[in-house]
Structure formats: C-alpha cells, structure tokens
Amino acid sequence: LIIFALLFSAVNIFAAPALIPLPQQMTVQPGTFTLCPPQLIPGAPSPAPTKILVDGAARETGEYLAMQLFKSTGYRFEIATNSGVAPVPQTILLTTNSAITNLGAEGYELTVATNSVVIRAPAAAGLFYGVQSLLQLLPPEILSPRPVSGVPWIAPCVYIKDSPRFPWRGWMLDSVRHFFNVDEVKKFLDSMAQQKLNMFHWHLDDDSGWRIEIKQWPLLTQVGAWRTDILFNLNPRSSTAYRDDGYYGGFYTQDDVREIVAYAAQRHITIVPEIEMPGHSTAALAAYPQFSCNGTNGDCATCLNGPYNMNVVSYAGGVFCPARPEPIAFLHDVLTEVMGLFPGPYIHIGGDEVNFGNWQKHSLDRALTNSLGISSMQVYQSHFTQGIADWIKSQGKTMIGWSEIMNGGLVTNSVLMDWLNTKATFAATNGQYAVMSPSAYCYINKWENGSSSGSGVIWSNEPPAQSG
C-alpha cells in the first residue's frame, strides 16, 4: 500500500496541470517551486519570501503579482529592478528581454524551476497572462482575498509556451436587467483576467434601464435608470439596488466608468460599451419621448415624471425615429460622450430585435423609405445602421452590431457580433470582421435541465414566466 501510494503520488506530480485555457505547449518537469519558504522554527521571524524582479515593461505586472500574493499569503514580496535574462535563485523574474517575438503581444514563456520562476514575453500583456498561469499552478487558496495559513505555497516545475488562438476572447455583462455596482463589475473583471479574457462587452442600456451618465441629457439616468420593480421574476430581496422610494435600478457616473476602465486596463482588458439603437430603447425614450416616431410619449404609456413600469410596454417596443434629424443628433451626442469615456476601438450599438411597427405607421419614415426606394424595413434598418457606422468611423472608432444589422444587406465600417449564428459567414466573406457569440452555445442565461418545463432561455422577446 505504501509503495502504491508513492507511485500514485508520483503520477500526480508529473501530470499536466489543469490550466484554463490549456496552453498550446506545456511540459511538466520533476520537482516543485516553493513560493514562500516554510517557517521551520516556531516563533522565529518569518523567512523572506521570493523576490519579484522586473524590467521596465514589467513593473506594473510585478506590482499586480505582489498584490495578489500578499492578499492570500500575507507575505510582502519585494519588487526589484533587474534587466538581466538569466534566472536568479529564489526569485520570480518578469522580463521582455530575449523574448520570442513571434509569440505576439499576448504570448509568453513560463519556466518554473525548483529555485526560480521566469516569465518572458514580448509585451506587457503576455507577461500578465504568464502571471495568471503561475497563479493557476499554485494552490487555489492563492486567490483568497485574505491571508490563509497552513497552505504549502508550491507550484509544479513546468515549461509553458503559449499564445492565444483568438484575438477576441470576450465576456458580456448585462448591467441593465440586473444592476451590478462598481465593486461587482470589478469582480467580473478579475474573473476575466484569471481566464485570460480580453474583451469586456458592457451592456449599458435597453428597454428595462439606462445605466450610464450622459451629461448633455441628464434625464437618461434621472428617469431611465429606475423602474418600478426588479422584473424578470427575480426575488426582490436578491438585490440592494433600490432607491429610498423603492424603485429599482441605478447607473454609473462618468467617474465610475473611468475607474472601471482604468481597472480593466490594468488587467489588459478592453471595454466595449453597448448603447442600443434603433430598438430596445424604451428607457431612453421614457426620458426623451420626442425622439420616438411620433414625437410624443406614445412608445411608453407611463414613462414621464419618474420611473416607468416595464410591465405596460412591449419588451422591444422603444424605437428611435431615423427620419428626423433630432434623434440622430441626440444619438451622436450620447455616443460622443461614450467614446470620450472608453478608449477602446469599438462601440457596440446593438441593433437586434427592432420593432418595425412604429416605422411602418409613421408618415416621415414612410416618406423617407419611399424617397430612398426602400420597400423592406430590414433594408431601412441597414440604411440607419450604415449612417451610424460611418459616423462612428469618422470619430476614429469602429461600430459593432448584433446579427440583425445585416439582415438588410452588408453594413461596411462595422464588425458583426453573431448571436443568431446566421450572418457571420456573410460578413466575413464580404471583408468584415465577425465575433461569434451564438446563443445556443455561448449564452449562460439558459435552464440547466432539458425538460420541457425548464428548457429554453430565461428571457427572449418577453420577460420569463418563471425564474431560473
């Protein structure tokens, strides 16, 4: 039994660690690396932990690593500058010197030996992802937000060479249907960093709420950020996002956004804000109904003078009017402020599930489609979307939209995000980038069982009949 146990232990030691995502190349070597030397004599001063050595490009990543290690181990890791390339005993060396250049900006090499660790990468992002792999090699308690005692802080000796297969590795957070505060958003970003995800798609408005401060149009948050109840059959007690008067919601100030953008950038995450248009815009039109098709409060029966009641409006009912210059100017104002807050190259405009009924009934929209020779509302939407895409491009950014933006034909100067799994090939073969996000595989708002009573999406075109 003792011999069997030793053999079993040896097999486990040399098994490939379960890293996520799995590196392209990983070789397990004999031995382990000890992060913090053990305290051999009770009551004696703690031995000095491993030192972190950095070059100029690695300083910020070294500080991030020291902070993460301090939280869980309680050890303060000294950071020192070292421009060398060779391993140094009892150190973690982060360096861009002598890196393999064809690994790209996000690739890295990680060598864990019995007395040193070397993370080498062509750029800071690769160093950061090498640090994430090192953290995954350590015991899971390394991610604890507070010191943990009695854990042997060891990592298996390995050599890893890795670079991502896909340039877009994304996660979308819907802060509209359920409001997440700043600290909760940061937790999502931390989780993304651990999995080497680099694109944070932030859903900031929809029919059921407007979540970002726009200084030129203050009613967007004064009215549109609050609704009468939590909706979606969520337990009202599952959230604290209530005002003193009981209305549910909230929004991010522009200072909040700057804080979150900086936090993401430290983790090499680009934020892609989503501002919905022309549909899914009930919250915006609750605040400014003059930008709807009829220029009144017709899109939302009880929207003015305070928070609105989503139960009395169609789920995708709010639609901007493309036939008048005022709604377009309003959208340009909003997007200008949004672009000033998010330094990334992309602006998402939604574009899904547009309710064409208002356009079909509106005299100005009918007149515009007739003058343009457009007989299809899908083509009319593409006409609107192309105008927005061209304007965003003129501002130095690139527009992203959901599958439906190309139902009426190709929209140039854009990226397609295909949730319906219907238009990616069309976009790509016509020279446009496509991001795959098919709902059947990538959405996590699904029932976990396959029964007829529990299958299907939690929400689609209508609020759910029950929560899940």
Count Cβ atoms within 10 A of the Cβ of residue 105 and give its class: 0-12 exposed, 13-18 middle, 19 or more buried. middle
Rounded to whole angstroms, the Cα distance separating 39 from 49 reads: 11
pLDDT of residue 446: 64
Reported pTM: 0.88
Straight-line distance from the first to the last Cα atom of the chain, in angstroms, rounded to the nearest whole number: 47
Q: How far apart are CA 153 and CA 92, in angstroms?
A: 14
pLDDT digits (tens, 9 = 90+) for 289-333: 899 886 543 333 333 444 555 544 433 368 999 999 999 999 999
Please list the ranges in the chain whose pLDDT falls under 50: 1-13, 40-41, 296-306, 311-316, 451-468
Structure tokens of 104?
A: 């790209």
- Please enumerate in sequence order all residues whose Cβ is within 8 A of that of 275, keeping only pairs 6 or more positions apart, or say none: 204, 205, 212, 334, 335, 338, 347, 348, 349, 350
Give kind and range of the element (H or E) at residue 62.
helix 59-73
pLDDT of residue 449: 55
> CA angle at residue 108 from 106 to 110, to 5 degrees?
150
pLDDT of residue 6: 42
Interior/surface letters 209-218, b for 16+ CB within 10 angstroms, e for the rest: bbbbbbeebe
User: Which residue type, as a one-letter code, is found at position 242?
Assistant: Y
Decide: 402 and 438 in contact? Cβ < 8 Å: no
In sign, the C-alpha dihedral spanning 276, 302, 465, 251 is: positive
pLDDT score, position 87: 85
